[in-house]
Amino acid sequence: MKDRIKKLIENADVVLVGVGEEFDDERCLKQISQYNKIREKLEATGQDWLIPSLNRYFADKCEDSYRKKHALSNLAELMKDKNYFVVSIATNDYVWDVGFKEGRVVAPCGGSLKKQCRNGGSCTEAPVLLTEEEKAHIVKYMEDPQEVLSFGDCPTCGSNRILNNIYTEKYDERGYLDQWKKYTKWLQGTLNKKLCILELGVGMQCPSVIRFPFEKIGYFNQKADFIRVNKNLYQLTEELKEKGISISENAVDWLASM
């Protein structure tokens, strides 16, 4: 089967990849008592937006996180000569670290790399990247989170700035919108091409980002191959049964052994 999938990727003109919930570390993290303690504290103080940073801080304690990065690096290597785009709903930012081509990744749920105004989209101040100093400050904060953290005041409205991800109450989607536009433009160009769709560990957490649209793309592109890898939610829709391949295996395990 793996050789067959490798062949499909090799023979495709374009490859569309979806990275889903199976690439999150939450299940492992929630077994670490210190992690749970800090997470409760963050939630109690309205700092849910620090959860991706917390996850990242504790990820080293999960052997699994190395495997996840390794799996994604394998994929980057496998596709290095291809024209591809990666859409990820994970908030752990691994997709930026594993060697995917510049400008070929979009992460619509955000992560811990950008800050936004607390007022989100209703303020004219768009999200910007954190400085190295601010990143270091977060790490330090995780060692002993006492007061409430923020990243200075918004230069436009004066509210404080917080991290730009879906855990934020008013998530500012401008943090990924430019990249999303690139992605949709790229997608338009795939319609008549031989497309390989790799949906990896994507569940039902936010199905409107990857799962449902990918199914639609797979259905409408006559020359598409659709590969769904998922431990539990591996079933294919009626429309995709003919051209789809379903693999009922955890996508990280599957990819790590490619």
**How far apart are the C-alpha atoms of 54 and 73, rounded to whole Å?**
23
Nearest to 159 by CA among 118, 115, 127: 118
Q: Which member of 21, 25, 125, 199 binds Zn ion (CB under 5 A)? A: 125
Q: Which is nearer to Zn ion, 38 or 123 (CB)?
A: 123
Residues touching Zn ion, count (CB under 5 A)? 8
Is 172 a binding residue for Zn ion by CB under 5 A? The answer is no
In the bound complex, what is the minimum distance in angstroms from residue 119's beta carbon to Zn ion?
5
B/e letters for 15-52, b = 16+ CB within 10 Å, e = fewer, are bbbbbbbbbbbeebbeeeeebeebbeebeeeebbbbbb
Residue 253, number of CB atoms within 10 A of its CB:
14
Q: What residues between 100 and 119 interact with Zn ion by CB under 5 A?
A: 117, 119
Is 162 a binding residue for Zn ion by CB under 5 A? The answer is no
Sole window of 20-28, 31-39, 99-107, 155-163 interacting with Zn ion (rule: CB under 5 A): 155-163
Q: Which is nearer to Zn ion, 143 or 152 (CB)?
A: 152
121, exposed or middle or buried, with CB in 10 Å at 0-12, 13-18, 19+? middle
Is 156 a binding residue for Zn ion by CB under 5 A? The answer is yes
Q: Which is nearer to Zn ion, 56 or 118 (CB)?
A: 118
Q: Which is nearer to Zn ion, 87 or 123 (CB)?
A: 123
Contact 232, 13 (CB under 8 A): no
**How far apart are the C-alpha atoms of 186 and 188, rounded to whole Å?**
5
Is 123 a binding residue for Zn ion by CB under 5 A? The answer is yes
Residue 201, number of CB atoms within 10 A of its CB:
28
Is 157 a binding residue for Zn ion by CB under 5 A? The answer is yes
In the bound complex, what is the minimum distance in angstroms from residue 156's beta carbon to Zn ion?
5
In the bound complex, what is the minimum distance in angstroms from residue 123's beta carbon to Zn ion?
3
Contact 112, 165 (CB under 8 A): yes
**Using CB under 5 A as the criterion, which residues of the chain lie in contact with Zn ion when the complex forms?**
117, 119, 123, 125, 154, 156-157, 159
